[in-house]
């Protein structure tokens, strides 16, 4: 079988082309290289440049043909004229002078009393005539007494700021953290004062308060029994929070006030001690709901004070 090398317009190739039967072998003529490499331009339309580049032939075999020469940019008909803008108007912004600061009232000193106030100290805050001591022959003579002679007041002096100073009596375990004793431990809900509520007895007012978070029905009867027998009824009631009364947040202040009324009415010495505090602010140091107990005590104190007001 005879092979014949035929020249190809795209350039030399490593493998020969198969010629017809009986043909003679002819050596192809060498392809003359291009005049020189042209760095810019475009490839020939016959594809020789791309094929020789793929077959790794000499780059001078088929170089890029020169492209069209870009035409020069036309000259401007007239020179560039810069537009002159009118000068900006200078506007002077005048700010109003700052207003003088509004004088703030001086903070009222708050005194955390570790004990109840004495009679003379309380006289500087509220006159004794606010409460009327009934005659001893009156059946209500055991409901209150003179502030100056109240045994709830110790006789040692207590410095106070002025007659207009705000006195706050804080009771609860908070005083122990400050190194003081609780001035009114019996005001707390957990004091050992039994409370009768609608035919049921509770050892403390705290058990009653947390029991009233639930409706009194057969479904909640086991929960109410657990709370009534618990040493920490608040923690016990939190375990069953999903069974609380839906309107508890709206009714808890009224319920607290009713509990204080029942507790004070069933324990007259506590009511006398509450009346002896005068008009000082009572604050529960252990509270976490906006001094609910302290506000209930002050509301009951104001209600009882109106009965003896002149």
pLDDT digits (tens, 9 = 90+) for 141-181: 333 333 333 333 333 332 333 333 356 777 776 655 555 66
Phi-psi region of 21 (alpha: psi -120 to 50; beta: other; left: phi over 0): beta
The reported pLDDT for the residue numbered 86 is 66
62 and 123 fall within a common domain: no
Those residues whose C-beta lies under 8 Å from the C-beta of residue 209, and which sit 6 or more positions away, are 189, 233, 255, 256, 259
pLDDT of residue 142: 39
Residue with the larger pLDDT of the pair 154 and 195: 195
Q: Is 102 a domain residue?
A: no
Look over the chain and give the mean of its residue pLDDT values, rounded to a whole number: 68
Assess if residue 83 is contained within a domain. no
Structural domain includes residue 148: yes
Please report whether residue 185 resides in a domain: yes
Q: What is the pLDDT of residue 82?
A: 65
Domain count, the chain: 2
In this structure, the number of other CB atoms found within 10 A of the CB of residue 269 comes to 13
Q: What is the pLDDT of residue 138?
A: 37
Range of the domain at 249: 110-305
Instruction: Quick: pLDDT tens for 56-67.
Output: 665 554 555 555
Is the pLDDT score of 191 beyond 80?
yes
What pLDDT sits at residue 18? 55
List the CATH number of the domain containing 184: 1.10.357.40
79 belongs to a structural domain = no
Domain boundary among 48, 66, 84: 66
Which tens digits make up the pLDDT trace of 243-282? 999 998 888 889 998 999 999 888 888 888 888 888 888 8
In a domain, 98, yes or no: no
Asked if 217 and 297 sit in the same domain, the reply is yes
Query: Among residues 12, 37, 66, which one ends one of the domains?
Result: 66
Instruction: Copy the structure tokens of residue 309.
Output: 């007001």
Please check whether residues 39 and 175 belong to one and the same domain.
no
Q: What would the DSSP string read from start to end of 10-28?
A: T---SSPPPPPTTPPP-PP
Residue 164 sits in the same domain as residue 15:
no
3-class DSSP state of 128 = helix
pLDDT in tens, 204-245: 899 999 999 999 888 888 999 898 888 888 889 999 989 999
**Given a cut of 50, is residue 3 above it in pLDDT?**
yes
Question: Which of 66, 88, 118 finishes a domain?
Answer: 66
Same structural domain, 150 and 230: yes
Sign (positive/negative) of CA torsion 218, 222, 225, 226?
Answer: negative
Contact 128, 146 (CB under 8 A): yes
- Asked if 205 and 286 sit in the same domain, the reply is yes
Q: Is 153 a domain residue?
A: yes
Q: What is the pLDDT of residue 290?
A: 79
Please check whether residues 218 and 272 belong to one and the same domain. yes
The answer on 186 and 286 residing in a single domain is yes
Residues 129 and 217 both lie in one domain: yes
Identify the pLDDT of residue 112.
Answer: 47
Q: How confident is the model at residue 301 (pLDDT cuts 50, 70, 90)?
A: confident
Residue 74 lies in a domain: no
Tell me the two tokens of residue 159: 């410095």
- Mean pLDDT to the nearest integer, 109-115: 48
């Amino acid at each position: 079988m005879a092979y014949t090398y035929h020249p190809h317009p795209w350039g030399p190739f490593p493998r020969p082309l198969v010629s017809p039967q009986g043909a003679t072998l002819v050596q192809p003529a060498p392809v003359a290289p291009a005049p020189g490499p042209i760095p810019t331009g475009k490839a020939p339309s016959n594809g020789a440049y791309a094929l020789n580049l793929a077959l790794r032939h000499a780059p001078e075999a088929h170089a890029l043909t020169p492209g069209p020469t870009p035409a020069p940019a036309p000259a401007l008909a007239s020179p560039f004229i810069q537009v002159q803008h009118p000068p900006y108007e200078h506007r002077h912004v005048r700010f109003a002078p700052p207003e003088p600061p509004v004088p703030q009232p001086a903070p009222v000193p708050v005194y955390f009393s570790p004990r109840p106030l004495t009679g003379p100290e309380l006289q500087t805050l509220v006159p004794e005539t606010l409460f009327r001591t009934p005659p001893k022959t009156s059946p209500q003579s055991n409901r209150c007494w003179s502030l100056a002679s109240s045994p709830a007041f110790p006789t040692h002096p207590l410095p106070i700021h002025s007659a207009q100073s705000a006195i706050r009596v804080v009771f609860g375990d908070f005083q122990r953290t400050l190194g003081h004793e609780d001035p009114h431990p019996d005001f707390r809900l957990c004091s050992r004062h039994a409370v009768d509520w609608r035919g049921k007895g509770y050892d403390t007012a705290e058990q009653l308060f947390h029991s009233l978070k639930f409706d009194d029905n057969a479904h909640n009867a086991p929960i109410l029994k657990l709370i009534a027998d618990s040493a920490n009824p608040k923690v016990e009631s939190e375990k069953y929070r999903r069974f609380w009364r839906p309107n508890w947040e709206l009714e808890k202040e009224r319920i607290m006030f009713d509990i204080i009324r029942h507790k004070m009415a069933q324990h007259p010495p506590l009511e006398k001690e509450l009346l002896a505090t005068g008009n000082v602010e009572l604050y529960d140091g252990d509270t976490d709901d906006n001094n609910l107990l302290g506000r209930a005590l002050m509301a009951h104190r104001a209600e009882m004070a109106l009965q003896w007001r002149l």
